[in-house]
Chains A and B, each alone.
Chain A
Amino acid sequence: MEITSVLYPAFLIVFLAVYFALSKSRLQIYAILAASLIYMTYSSGISGTLICMLLCLFLWLIGKKLKGSRPLFFLSLFLDLGLLLYFKFFTGIFDSLFTAVTAGERISIRLLAAPAGLSYFSLSVAAYLVDCYKGKIEAEKNYFHFLTFVTFFPALHQGPFNLYKNLMPQLRERHVFSESALISGAQRILWGYFQKMVIADRLHIFVSSAVPESSVTGIVLFFTMILYSFQIYADFAGGIDIIMGVTEIMGIGLPENFRSPLAASSVSDFWKRWHITLGTIMEKYVYYPLVLSKKMRSASKLIKNKYLSRVFAAAAANFLVFILVGIWHGTGWNYVVYGIYQAVFTTSAILLAPVYKNIRSVLHIGNGNIPYRIFMSVRTFIILVFGRYFTRAGSLALAFEMFRRTFISASAWRPSLLFDGTLLGYGLEIKNLILALICMALMVVVDVIHYRNIRFRDHLMTKPFPVRLAVYYALIFGIIIFGIYGEEYSASAFIYAQF
């Protein structure tokens, strides 16, 4: 069930009616579970839901005996991450082996569908297993409560990642209806739909038309990839805003996934602002355990250079984490190279920190220098746009082909190519293209406002009712009039739901 489908709001209204009708009962959590299982079955079929329920049963049983038991810990991780690896990597291999065995007959061995949201919930469950093993949390006593945590439907398809210790107590609490939460949540949902349907899906038309076109080269291709960078941000952040709005109405607080990524001053800074909950999981469960491990500390001490010895562990673990982040996004080599690309910038920032510090000091540039800050954000954005080549291309060979097309000749970089009508050949006529560019500017403005710690929704609530009403109408009619509706009014799928 796509969040942008007509069915989702109807599903949500029925769910919320039942959920709040049960606000005085202990059954409220079971309303969430029932909705989550329906949502999952609708998205990935009954086999996906059964696989998930069975996995949860095993892990719930093991979880209760996990504290301090190394064999059980590895078994539980094997089951949890094994399922993710199987569906992410091996189904393709088994498919091709089976095709070979059946002499080319195209019979698919993949009879079972991956449970919806596997990429997301398997990591949250892995974190739960680590915490149980280390004795940091008590294992969940109630199977159905555990299943609710794993399948929690608002965050199932594209996160944010939830930690058991943060989400589970909230799921168990009883939540009463709040008018202010409804208004605030609805505002966020509207902004989410606007980002997805007006901005991301509009940019998608241009990008999906221009990228495969071999005649698109130089500055036009680079411009297309800038549009793609905004598309993926509007798509992902739009989806997350809808999810956060829904959970706000439910009275459940999830961790924020974005903090003004367009304002990032470096690639390292970007990853503290983009997909924050993936970063938190990676930091707490991979990065820190690795850098603080005895082996890593001993390896650091072998390095003679004082500074390098100090930062070796951080740099090495950082490199590994970014490769894992790349692989989490997809299975092709292009995703591995995407991870390495990010790792090169973030790791070199650690290794060369004293050099950068000296340059800033020689040039008398302080942190408050606004032109320098803007320069750093634009530079970071350009680096990230080139990184997006790897994820957009579909394969490593195609990514390099796109790089070749981008730098094909100096004449392909004539700025006039952006104004001679070339851009109008990729699905968006002039009015739509201008609207897309205005929306992109709006996203920059919103990010800068958030960067300055101004909460737009709080600000809006202080305004007189007619002003608020005007903003709501602008958003609603913006979505209705300017929203992009695909075939049979099914908007294009969320990009991050596919990872």
Chain B
Amino acid sequence: MIRKQILEILEEVCPGVDIESQTALFDDGIIASFDVIHIMSELMDVFNIEIDADDIEPENINSLDALVNLVESRLS
């Protein structure tokens, strides 16, 4: 469920990109730094979690799995 919701947010930001197969969404410039802000804001609102400046690191943003891990760690 969490995975599906995050996938929807990413697909809205990067239409036409096969998100599941990407491992360097940020490093490859598929999502720009200002898109990162939007994604993080959506995650905070949708899952009611706190995300901090320190969480905004490429390793947390480069793939769907990384974002799922980030959200799960905040939910727990």
Q: Is B72 an interface residue (CB 8 A)?
A: no
Q: Is A327 an interface residue (CB 8 A)?
A: no
* Contact, CB under 8 Å: B53 / A297: no
CB interface residues, B 1-58, toward A, < 8 Å: 13, 29, 32-35, 37-38, 40-41, 44-45, 51-54, 56
CA distance A310 to B37 in the complex (A): 8
CB distance from A156 to the nearest CB of B (A): 26
* Residues of A with C-beta under 8 A to B54: 136, 284
Contact of B34 among A288, A289, A311 (CB under 8 A): A311
CB distance from B38 to the nearest CB of A (A): 5
CB within 8 Å for A289 and B53 given contacts A297-B45, A314-B33? yes
* Residues of B with C-beta under 8 A to A283: 53
CB within 8 Å for A292 and B37 given contacts A136-B54, A284-B54, A297-B45? yes
* Residues of B with C-beta under 8 A to A287: 53
* Contact, CB under 8 Å: A285 / B38: no
* Residues of A with C-beta under 8 A to B44: 292, 297
CA distance A297 to B29 in the complex (A): 24
Nearest chain-B residue to A350 (Cβ)?
Answer: B34
Chain A interface, number of residues (Cβ within 8 angstroms): 20
Contact of A285 among B35, B37, B53, B56 (CB under 8 A): B53
Chain B interface, number of residues (Cβ within 8 angstroms): 17
* Contact, CB under 8 Å: B32 / A292: no
Nearest chain-B residue to A294 (Cβ)?
Answer: B44
CB within 8 Å for A292 and B53 given contacts A297-B41, A313-B41? yes
Nearest chain-A residue to B40 (Cβ)?
Answer: A292
CA distance A350 to B38 in the complex (A): 12
CA distance A205 to B29 in the complex (A): 42
* Contact, CB under 8 Å: A310 / B35: yes
* Contact, CB under 8 Å: A300 / B41: yes
CA distance A288 to B53 in the complex (A): 5
Residues of chain B touching chain A, judged by Cβ–Cβ distance below 8 Å, are 13, 29, 32-35, 37-38, 40-41, 44-45, 51-54, 56
Residues of chain A touching chain B, judged by Cβ–Cβ distance below 8 Å, are 136, 283-285, 287-289, 291-292, 297, 300, 310-311, 313-315, 318, 350, 353, 367
11 new A-B contacts, CB < 8 A, other than A288-B53, A311-B37, are A287-B53, A288-B56, A292-B40, A300-B41, A310-B35, A310-B38, A313-B41, A314-B34, A314-B37, A314-B38, A367-B29
